Structure 1
């Protein structure tokens, strides 16, 4: 559910290695880029990238028999670099599979179901996405949340505050600068879990916020897809995916629904 449009501004590189496959990969290391600012999916834990995506990737690369590294490049640099396919051959960073992106990139098979969610303060009259039309709402700029709320509120609506990241959007809600935040379900749930005393309420709206699916981002024509797709399927089917999912989210994933996606 991250940014839909590629900015030409590159973020500073912060290098960190996430691990390597245990099997021989013929001496070739696949270099992944990520934007480690999206806990619990990917974030910096001291000098290492951690999160659901990183643990999932470790299982996939082990299954595929490929050595790899993960570098925290920032969002814009990841998109640009993966498109070029030279310095980085893939990107994993909660990247939603969209028709727009498919014109520029290839994707692996889907590996995560997501949707947007509303966060409000306790006692708020807001119950659904349509209730946000005349409210002040914060979103991360150029995300699917931004796209959805632009459709509901209008592109020129000054009450729709487009922030550089979700942290700033959440801070805006805390300081009463907005009535609600719309963001990825994993982000909202993690925030509520980590701030039990702040009296926030999360609201799901399946009618107005449809499911989206994350995939590993690849350059057009990449031969990695043929190697990663079977490994992703195997990890989902053999229970390792569920183990990683439960570690980060405390519940069983709907693997059947995930495997049914094309």
Structure 2
């Protein structure tokens, strides 16, 4: 009897062991399938992110005051040609951005250091800058002009001999002034922003300044006590949106596509006319 009971117990134990083995095998298969599904889902999501640059929020740096391209209006809103163009392009291409008004020099540094993805600040496209930045297609062509205090006796470049002339650091106007300084015998004083530069000329500390024509024309129209002597406007350069060299190619591509679109549908000209006419 005891032998019979031992046999029954042994049989039941073997059966239980076999059932437990089947259960374990089923559990492992389920785990492997789940893991594979997660990997596939992760790969799909990663692929979508990589192929959808418009899903990223970009940080765009700009100047503080460079009217009519960027400035604060009477209501306290930050506006201008650059501001409105960027907004129209972003809407056309479906990307989000955060605009940071840093000042021109600081904006360039922010892009170079990777703290900002791009810069739009009435930035002239030059060969020297192309060594550090990748530029978009030109979005505005600007000549350079000399401006003096209203009623000044300075009427030509020849009148600058032996005098001090103001420029804004790292601008189209600054580059042009430096290129003719030796020829006309004047000294250069640099400023970080246009309003301070204008005030220096108006008060007589410097006798003239060099500025992009649309910027100077806008400020004179708004009441700045300055004038542009006849015959002192020269060929300048084109403005471009820029990113750090070799970086954010997708943002640059979207800017170019958006710019082409808003030029084609008339939005571009509406924006420019809004601030220049």
The secondary structure found in structure 2 opposite 1:96 is coil
Structure-2 change in CA distance of 1:238 and 1:133 (3 Å): farther
Q: Tell me which residue corresponds to 1:104.
A: 132
Paired residues of 1:91 and 1:218 also in contact (CA < 8 A): yes
Matched, 1:151 2:151: no
> Which one has a larger percent helix, Structure 1 or Structure 2?
2
1:60 match: 89
Give 1:202's aligned residue.
228
| Structure 1 unaligned blocks of 5 or more | 1-23, 251-262
Please say if residues 129 and 205 of structure 1, whose CA atoms lie closer than 8 Å, have aligned partners that are also in contact. no
CA contact (8 A) 1:36 1:49 kept: no
Q: Which of 66, 80, 83 in structure 2 is aligned with 1:51?
A: 80
Instruction: Report the count of equivalent residues.
Output: 222
- With normalisation by structure 2, the TM-score equals 0.71
Q: Structure 1 pair 213/44, CA: closer, same or farther in 2 (3 Å)?
A: same
TM-score under structure 1 length normalisation: 0.75
1:116 aligns to what? 144
* RMSD, matched Cα: 2.6
Provide the rounded CA distance (Å) in 2 between the counterparts of 1:26 and 1:139: 38
Tell me which stretches of 4 or more aligned residues in structure 1 moved more than 6 Å: none
Query: Could you tell me which of 55, 67, 76 is aligned with 1:39?
Result: 67
Gaps of 5+ in 2: 1-51
CA offset at residue 137 of structure 1? 1.8
Q: Would the alpha carbon gap of residues 194 and 171 (structure 1) be closer, same or farther in structure 2, given more than 3 Å must change?
A: same
Structure 1 pair 26/148, CA: closer, same or farther in 2 (3 Å)?
closer
Asked whether the equivalents of residues 42 and 53 of structure 1 are also in contact (C-alpha less than 8 Å), the reply is: yes
**How has the CA–CA distance of structure 1 residues 31 and 237 changed in structure 2, closer, same or farther, with 3 Å as cutoff?**
same
1:133 is displaced (CA, Å) by: 3.9
In the other structure, the counterpart of 1:258 is none
Equivalent in the alignment of 1:142? 170
> Quick check: 1:81–1:88 contact (8 Å CA) kept in 2?
yes
The answer to whether the 8 A contact 1:141-1:164 is kept is yes
User: Which secondary structure state, in structure 2, belongs to the residue aligned with residue 56 of structure 1?
Assistant: helix
Deviation at 1:247, TM superposition (A): 0.5
What SS does the corresponding residue of 1:212 show, helix, strand or coil?
strand
CA shift, 1:205, in A, is: 4.6
Question: Is 2:252 the partner of 1:244?
Answer: no
| Cα distance in 2 between the residues matched to 1:49 and 1:154 | 39
> Paired residue for 2:18?
none
